[in-house]
Amino acid sequence: MERTYIRDIKDNIGKEVLINGFIQTIRDQGGIKFLIIRDITGIVQIVVLKSEKQSFELIKELSLESVVEITGLVKEEKQAPGGFEVQAENIEVLSVADPELPIPVIEEKGGDETESAKRFDWRWIDLRKDDKSIILKVWTEFERGFRDYFNENDYIQIYTPSFMGTSSETGAEVFEVKYFDKKAYLAQSPQFYKQMAMASGLEKVFTFGPVFRAEPSFTTRHLTEFTGFDFEISYIRDHYDIMNEEEKMIVKSFERIKRMNIDIDIPSIPFPKLTMEEAKKKLSENKVSGGKPYDLTSEEETVLSQIIKKETGNDFVFVTNWPIEGRPFYHMRFEDNKSLTKSFDLLYKGLEVTTGAQREHRPNILIQQAKEKGMDIEPLNDYINFFRYGCPPHGGAGIGPARFIMKILNLASVKEATFLPRDVKRLRP
């Protein structure tokens, strides 16, 4: 007999089914026993009658979170979860759980949830909870939305290396690793390789992959390793072309999440857009100041998003035209104002979720801008060579999906939105 997922049992009233799952609850009422079984699609009540002697006796030895296979008859039962139950005919134990769980799967009603550090120590048990597994389900639909957009618009997927011979971001800390007889660095971004793809004539590319940042940050928004979504496109006029593309990707993804009956607002296009100068002015008018003129503090991001939400009803806002002090050397500058870059950050509900820009594709200007940043040119030679033999004007963005999920589901931190978080102090499990 083939397995039936719990979500499909309602379509099998009066039929025999085989189900697999974890034992979530055991109730003993003398001559009858009840189990609640959970699989990835839901829960179902199992009734075990005393007449089924082998199964009835077996339950005495079962522990919560043991994994079982059950065959039985599906019956309507209004008082059971979902309005039906399965009367067990046979129970097979596939895996026995130790009786003392390190963290509960079912938290006490009204009680405090197990503190996060302990839950992350036992993450695989933590993810058995519905409110935790939904995080990864939403993430999956979020990524599918981006993939749908990329596929429908002729993007090519590339797979970039994590080992690099030089760091890829100005000013960010890097993880240095021993690479045989030389030093290597874990990639802070696929940026250089996306641009190489533009010089290859691929025109529109995307990549999903790990990003490493050796920043000693202890905030709710930072990890030392995270998954990044990146895209890059050729023949753009300016950074507004990049923003216009990303808006459509986000709408596509939010529409997929909406189908899961998640309470999410589909944003209207175009998203509000402010220059950094305009953003700082709005913040000043609302008596928020203190941040650097070339960057936004977390408070400024939060307040600016609240202002835009009140003015436009949109949870998103692009902040554009960042000063060169806050941007890497490869961001293109305005011809009529060399102190500003053709770049942007995207804020969602008060949190920066994307950084993007038009890139500088002219090698002589790239070298000049790198020198202005005090960078050694020799390690950059391979990168600069990408642009010596013809390269279209191009730009792109790096997107933080964990930050999106954090805000979509109102989670406390990006760690909660990550399968196995890595931060300054965590390297396990």
Mean pLDDT of 219-238: 95
Q: Which of 158, 150, 166 is nearest to 195 (CA)?
A: 158
Q: Parallel, antiparallel, or unpaired: how do β-strands 163-164 and 182-186 relate?
A: antiparallel
Domain spans of the chain, in order of start: 6-95, 130-408
Percentage of the chain lying above the pLDDT 70 cut: 98
How confident is residue 109, by pLDDT bands cut at 50, 70 and 90? confident
- What distances in angstroms separate CA 366 from CA 185, 300, 335, 383, one per listed residue? 22, 31, 14, 10
Can 6-95 and 130-408 be said to share one CATH topology? no
User: What pTM was estimated for this model as a whole?
Assistant: 0.93
**Is residue 20 within 8 Å of residue 66, measured between CB atoms?**
no
For 187-214, what is each residue's pLDDT tens digit?
999 999 999 999 999 999 999 999 999 9
Comparing 141 with 28, which gets the higher pLDDT?
141
- What distances in angstroms separate CA 135 from CA 132, 164, 199, 230, 306, one per listed residue? 5, 32, 37, 21, 25
pLDDT at 110 over 80: no
Q: What CATH fold (topology level) applies to the domain 130-408?
A: BirA Bifunctional Protein; domain 2 (3.30.930)
State residue 62's pLDDT score: 92
- What distances in angstroms separate CA 7 from CA 85, 168, 236, 267, one per listed residue? 12, 46, 47, 31
User: Token pair of 179, please?
Assistant: 């690479």
For residue 157, give the amino acid letter: Q
Domain at 6-95: CATH code: 2.40.50.140
State residue 31's pLDDT score: 85
Length of the chain measured in residues: 429
